[in-house]
Amino acid sequence: MSKIQEAIQERILVLDGAMGTMLQRNNFSEEDFRGERFKDFPHPLKGNNDLLSITQPEAVKQVHRLYFQAGADIVETNTFSGTTIGMADYHMEDLVYELNFQSAKIAREVADEFTDRPRFVAGSIGPTNRTASMSPDVNDPGFRAVTFDDLRIAYKQQIEALIDGGCDVLLVETIFDTLNAKAALFAIEEVKEERNIDVPVMVSGTITDASGRTLSGQTVEAFLISISHIPLLSIGFNCALGADQLKPYLKRLAMNTQLNISVHPNAGLPNAFGQYDQTPEEMQALVKEYLQDNLINIIGGCCGTTPEHIKEIAEVAKDFKPRQILETI
């Protein structure tokens, strides 16, 4: 049994908050994104947050450090878009292995600075900007911008680098299309078999709106069934909704699974300017309801959350025991 599997039985684990929210505080310019190494790169690079692990590693390290200081047990690597598919937007497909390896390495270095209790690094595997289940062309419903094999190959390269860089767990997150996620999970199983290793895996879907479905149309129960053949450390939800809006879907998940449950909601819903106004104290009050209702094993934050949010969440989480997993469903 891995250390994270032991820890999740003992206490509610706290995941970090948003990486993008924190990096934006630096107001990095195009030159900052480029650094010395990419100063003559022929394409714009501003907005490529994953690249900052190479060009501004200390800034990324400081984000990890602040979340650990706030009480996080797990930080996510700065690799949300770290596939050849995601990096194609910046013409940086050749950099994918290095980006993921470096991101995992610097997160591992910061985790090892904290010796009071085990701290963990989760390799963040985002959904890519393409969908395998639906056509992007309304006039051609059968068209697909990406295939299962395209995704599997892209994810496999990312996964190998994240493991090589020192991740404790892999987090397939912000899933809007379960077929994309299945490609990632297939690639993880391939790597595990080829290397004869076992790596804990977290899966986190996204309920996109009040319909209670993922973007590709699955209900909570359908999403669960679709990936239940894979041995998982946890299943849960993140992004799109705030803690209040996510609660009914967490309840449905808890009623139907013996897996550990994770959740990292946004800091409420975005305002008219796309910003998040929910205060750390407001979010703590909503998260406390999850804990009182015995719904979760891992809790963190997504868009708009900061170390201040995670500090409040960690404060309340320590007063509760992890969700007791039902023997029979």
The phi, psi pair for 69, rounded to 5°, reads -65, -30
For residues 56-95, one letter each, b for 16 or more C-beta atoms within 10 angstroms of the residue's C-beta and e for the rest, the string is: bbebbbebbbbbbebbbbbbbbbbbbbbbbbbeebebeeb
- Distance from C-alpha of 205 to C-alpha of 88, rounded to nearest angstrom: 24
Can you tell me whether residue 235 is helix, strand or coil?
A: strand
- Say if residue 303 carries a ligand binding annotation: yes
- Distance from C-alpha of 80 to C-alpha of 172, rounded to nearest angstrom: 9
Cβ–Cβ under 8 Å, residues 257 and 304: no
Cβ–Cβ under 8 Å, residues 310 and 25: no
- Say if residue 167 carries a ligand binding annotation: no
DSSP single-letter state for residue 38: T
- Distance from C-alpha of 159 to C-alpha of 146, rounded to nearest angstrom: 19
- Distance from C-alpha of 215 to C-alpha of 207, rounded to nearest angstrom: 7
- Distance from C-alpha of 259 to C-alpha of 276, rounded to nearest angstrom: 31
Q: Which residues are annotated as a binding site?
A: 239, 302-303
Q: Which residues are annotated as a binding site for Zn(2+)?
A: 239, 302-303
